[in-house]
Amino acid sequence: MLETQKAPADMDRDPKRFLRYLEEERQAALLYRSLATSMTGDRREALLELADIEERHARHWIAMLTEAGIDIPPAPTTMHADDAALVHQANTMSVDDVLEHLESAETAANSLYDDEPDAPQSMVEDEASHAEAFRRMREDSDNVLPIRGAMKAPGPDHMEAWHSTDTSGKARAIVFGMSDGLVSNTALVMGFAGANPNSNTILFAGLAGLLAGAFSMAAGEYVSVASQRDLYQREIQKEAEELKTKPEEEQKELELIYRAKGVPRDVAAATAAHIMEDPKKALDTLAREELGLNPDELGSPVKVAVSSFIAFAIGASIAVLPYLFLTGTAALVLTIALSTISLFVVGGIVGKISGRGIVFSALRQFAWGAGAAAVTFAVGSVIGVNV
pLDDT in the model for residue 263: 75
The predicted model scores a pTM of 0.50
pLDDT in the model for residue 190: 93
Calpha distance 124→139 (Å, rounded):
24
| 17-147: CATH superfamily | Ferritin, core subunit, four-helix bundle (1.20.1260.10)
**Domain chopping of the chain, boundaries:** 17-147, 170-227+301-386, 230-297
Calpha distance 49→7 (Å, rounded):
26
Residue 225's φ and ψ, nearest 5 degrees, are -70, -40
CA dihedral 26, 28, 29, 35 (to 10 degrees): 150
Q: Give average pLDDT by consecutive 10-residue segment, the chain, 387 residues.
A: 45 77 89 84 79 88 89 89 82 74 70 77 73 69 40 38 45 80 92 90 94 92 86 83 85 78 78 87 80 68 89 93 92 94 90 81 92 92 69
Calpha distance 381→241 (Å, rounded):
63
pLDDT in the model for residue 111: 62
pLDDT in the model for residue 139: 64
Task: Reduce the secondary structure of the chain to three states and give it as a string.
Answer: CCCCCCCCCCCCCCCCHHHHHHHHHHHHHHHHHHHHCCCCHHHHHHHHHHHHHHHHHHHHHHHHHHHCCCCCCCCCCCCCHHHHHHHHHHHHCCHHHHHHHHHHHHHHHCCCCCCCCCCCHHHHHHHHHHHHHHHHHHHCCCCCCCCCCCCCCCCCCCCCHHHCCCCCCHHHHHHHHHHHHHHHHHHHHHHHHHHCCCHHHHHHHHHHHHHHHHHHHHHHHHHHHHHHHHHHHHHHHHHHHHHHHCHHHHHHHHHHHHHHCCCCHHHHHHHHHHHHCCHHHHHHHHHHHCCCCCHHHCCCHHHHHHHHHHHHHHHHHCCCHHHHHCCHHHHHHHHHHHHHHHHHHHHHHHHHHHCCCHHHHHHHHHHHHHHHHHHHHHHHHHHHHHC
